Chains A and B, each alone.
Chain A
Amino acid sequence: MRNVRIFYEKKGRMKFVSHLDMNRFMSRLIAKSKIPVWFTEGFNQHAYMNFAVPLSLGYVGLYEVMDVKITDDNYPLEKLVEALNTVSTPDINFVKAAESVMHTKEIAFAEFKLSFDNVNAEKINEFFANESIITQKKTKKGGIKDIDIAPLIKKAELCGNELTLILTAGNENNLNPSLVMTAFYDFCGVDPDFYDVTRVMIYDKNLNKFE
């Protein structure tokens, strides 16, 4: 049995599919593709799948990661990508499958690209220059707490109408670009007017590609 990491793109109409629905979608895709995945052996048996970092509804993802276990050691990984693409929709495009190198715990950052309709470069640059950015975040228990997101922003760079953000990601600490934009709105009172968020890459703590 091998641990196999599958990389795919989630785009187009698929961005309206929530993480929970992605789970169901992928398990059906795997069933259709007939790739020899390992099934859990409990009462409710299902194909084992693990998603590295969930993607918010409405975002495009170009470096999405899903782990499965393959029971057939001789099953060629190129064939796996092909088998999945044959049964998938073009909006979920499988790019690569490989033995996993890193542990998902090592994920530390994610890079996003945000495109704006009308950009206010001055305000944006002023905003990201702050040493501390206090904003309110909903906690899992339903409360609201103040957090400082400035230390969680590794990089913020505006180029034309496109803002690149490298934000802390992973299980322990995760910063969502929409929270950054909410904070921006609170900061300057200008609607950021963004429509398109794309997660382009996931990194470890040294900004190495997650593999």
Chain B
Amino acid sequence: MDNKEFERLLLTVQKPGRYSGGEINSVIKDKEKVDVRFAFCFPDTYEIGMSHLGMKILYSQFNARDDIWCERVFAPWLDFEEVMRQNNIPLFALESRDPVKNFDFIGFTLQYEMSYTNVLNMLDLAGVPLRSADRKDLAPLVVAGGPCVCNAEPLADFVDIFFLGEGEEVDLEVIDLYKKHKAIGSTKAEFLREAAQIEGVYVPSLYDVSYNEDGTINAVTPKDNAPAVIKKRIIKDLNNCHYPENFVVPFIQIVHDRAVQEIFRGCIRGCRFCQAGFIYRPVREKSAEVINRQAKCLCENTGYDEISISSLSSSDYTELEPLLNEMLDWTQQNHISLALPSLRIDNFSEELLEKISHIRKSGLTFAPEAGTQRLRDVINKNVTEEEILSTCKIAFEGGHTAVKLYFMMGLPTETDEDLKGIADLGQKIVDMYYAMPNRPKGKSVSVSMSVAVFVPKPFTPFQFEPQISKAEMERKQAYLKSCITTRKIDLSMHDSSTSFLEGAFARGDRRLGNVLELAFKKGCKFDSWNECFDLEKWNEAFLECGLDPNFYSARLRAYDEINPWDHLDYAVSKGFLVREHQTALSEKTTPNCREKCSACGANCYGEGVCFEKR
């Protein structure tokens, strides 16, 4: 299709800036002069995908090499997909507008289970056969990385290669191997066999899965010399690891429209529901000096007037005070606002507090996750009611009148008492506000509480736990609603249907591939978007495939059951997860990594918090 015709079509859809390309810092190369073309696909809209730091890191790193051209691809929104299908426009990469099917690699990042249908839809739009077995040629290879790879079995039939863990090194090793095989004209099978030997590479087609009569897994058997256990990769030294000096700066407003500076990976806390807290272990920090230099460079090259520091729990950064001191100096000089998400500021010096007070205040947010101390001990979330109330008090005294609290429902061992605790905590904050003689004059208080449904995830101590049924979710939601008696509390709850489906896919096996494909053929896509999600179609798909979603989500799993992800090694041992699960059930907390090592297994890399002096 010629450009003129294409651009005219762009003008018929909403936000053509999603598809136009040409953003500042986007990389254009001569396709004749590169050996490998990599289509980096984010299976959601442009605004969401462009906010993703991992994509920015790998885009910049791949393009730093002369022989690789990495381009971006996002899922077209419904209106443009219709235009594409009507006019036979295949899925294209933003930079060159070349069809993705002509690339060497089609790489997806799997950030959440509800994006799986978009992966299939994008392959379909690209004109590429969905199933790995139906793609006979060496290229294009469909590869995937990201947190969901820790159990990507539902996508095992569609993806040629999964990358486990952090991609900076392993991706390039695979690309180099591909170059070699492309040059000598190898078959896809030959290439995949050798790729499987690289640490962190999981080639699902090289593993046979057999099942017991009750539907559980009997064995996962490697073929062709593939390793029995695939171990995730990590970057040992973050200070000397590639970090972009540049972001592609979008024209249209995206979800996180700012520079982002990573400060460490992993999390010391070990909250038992949190998958990120386990699969990114061990904690590895960047030095304050490196962070400062990279952040400055990023702001200069993008022109952003806002920068945010990024990690799973920024308060746990060891050099936080000197870092903020430095960063506040140059950001304020240059009219750049520094965003400090979820920071505890109780132990800062007066001088730093004074500096921070000039930062534009965002809302006050807490994530107690559960309503009672008992349940917070079960999930190992070490936030006390006292801390929440005292911080709210300071904030109210400082003029704030709104707080936001995040909770989950359906946590293991949860009773109605715990749910009532959520409402009670909200009420206590409201009461405290009105008991304050020095509260902001003439203003009402607002407490927003957002309650999600807990979804047990692989590689967490709760991977053995059943998810509550959809009926129970709805009962709990109704009960919680009835506990709230004041209008000062604004309660919002997640849709139980999406959580239910997420639960099945999070711990699903590769038989779910059929369900996924069928649901996609019935028209499921953008499942994380309320306006698109259709549980009916999903239920039909499960029924027609003879599978029950409850088998995956609503069942207590025995410790010795073989889980679909047990042949993947994310450096936290199953023994540790079992111990943690038992500690949880006895309502006891586990100290964080800096207080005491709990022997999870992440010290196997010889790096990180495990080797800090205590």
Contacts and interface: CB of A to CB of B under 8 A. Distances in A.
A168 B432 CA distance: 61
Nearest to B336: A31
Contact of A14 (B8, B22, B301, B334): B22
Interface in B1-60: 4, 7-8, 10-11, 16-17, 20-24
Q: How large is the interface on B (under 10, 10 to 19, 20 to 34, 35 or more residues)?
A: 20 to 34
B301 A32 contact: yes
Q: Which of B16, B301, B302 has the most CB of A within 10 A?
A: B16
A123 B471 CA distance: 66
B24 A89 contact: yes
Nearest to A91: B22
A31 B259 CA distance: 13
Nearest to A20: B253
B305 interface: yes
Interface in B289-314: 300-305
A188 interface: no
Given A13-B22, A58-B11, A30 B303 contact: yes
B251 A17 contact: yes
Contacts of A17: 17, 20, 251-252
A31 B11 CA distance: 30
B249 interface: yes
Contacts of B22: 12-14, 89, 91
A44 B303 CA distance: 17
A154 interface: no
B487 interface: no
A28 B303 contact: yes
A27 B17 contact: no
Contact of B8 (A18, A29, A89, A195): A195
Contacts of B334: 31
Given A21-B253, A46-B335, A16 B17 contact: yes
Q: Which of A25, A39, A43, A45 has the most CB of B within 10 A?
A: A25
Contacts of A28: 24, 249, 302-305
A57 interface: yes
Given A25-B251, A195-B8, A57 B16 contact: yes
Contacts of A140: none
A18 B253 CA distance: 11
A190 interface: no
Contact of B252 (A21, A31, A91): A21
A16 B249 contact: no
Interface in B248-269: 249, 251-253, 257
Interface in B476-530: none
Interface in A48-72: 57-58
Nearest to A25: B251
A47 B303 CA distance: 12
14 contacts: A16-B7, A16-B10, A16-B20, A17-B17, A17-B20, A25-B24, A28-B304, A31-B335, A45-B335, A87-B303, A91-B22, A195-B7, A195-B8, A196-B4
